Amino acid sequence: MSEYFEYPAETGDQSGSSLSWDSIRELLEQSDDREKQRLQEELERIEEQIEHREALYREAVERIQSQIDRYTSTLQTLYNRSFGGGSDAREPVKEALSDLYDDLQREKRQHWQDRQSLEQERREILRQLDELDDAAPLDAFL
């Protein structure tokens, strides 16, 4: 008795075999196409997120900068009105300005981290797309 499984002998007709390889090849190509489409859609979603978050960041910075300008103007007015005195009125404005500058720095830091995270996702998807494009042709295996 043989230790190996014995396959039935093939007939001379290879057309059935050829069709099955063609079917397999087509199935694999369809799978690759679906994966590429999914990755392209994910890439578009990330690009939209980057644009949307960039717009939100600009709005937040403009809002904070507008408040900084207003408080700076108020502080300048307080300095012009009181030559040497009136420091009690200036302190809350200075504190508010300090808080606004902190908010601005926090916003910039958060934006940078958010952007880096999205860019990392984007690079990963591009890498996956490159891998799909660089994959050896199926004909070499089939």
For residue 125, being part of any structural domain is answered with yes
For residue 112, being part of any structural domain is answered with yes
The distance from CA 11 to its chain's CA centroid, rounded to whole angstroms, is 55
pLDDT score recorded for residue 92:
94
For residue 126, being part of any structural domain is answered with yes
Q: Please tell me the pTM assigned to this model.
A: 0.69
pLDDT score recorded for residue 3:
60
Alpha carbons 139 and 26: distance in angstroms, whole number: 11
Give pLDDT tens digits along the chain (142 positions): 446 555 555 554 544 455 688 888 888 888 899 999 999 999 999 999 999 999 999 999 999 999 999 999 999 998 888 766 667 889 999 999 999 999 999 999 999 999 999 999 999 999 999 998 887 555 555 5
Spatial CA neighbour of 50 closest among 125, 123, 111: 111
| Domain count for the chain | 1
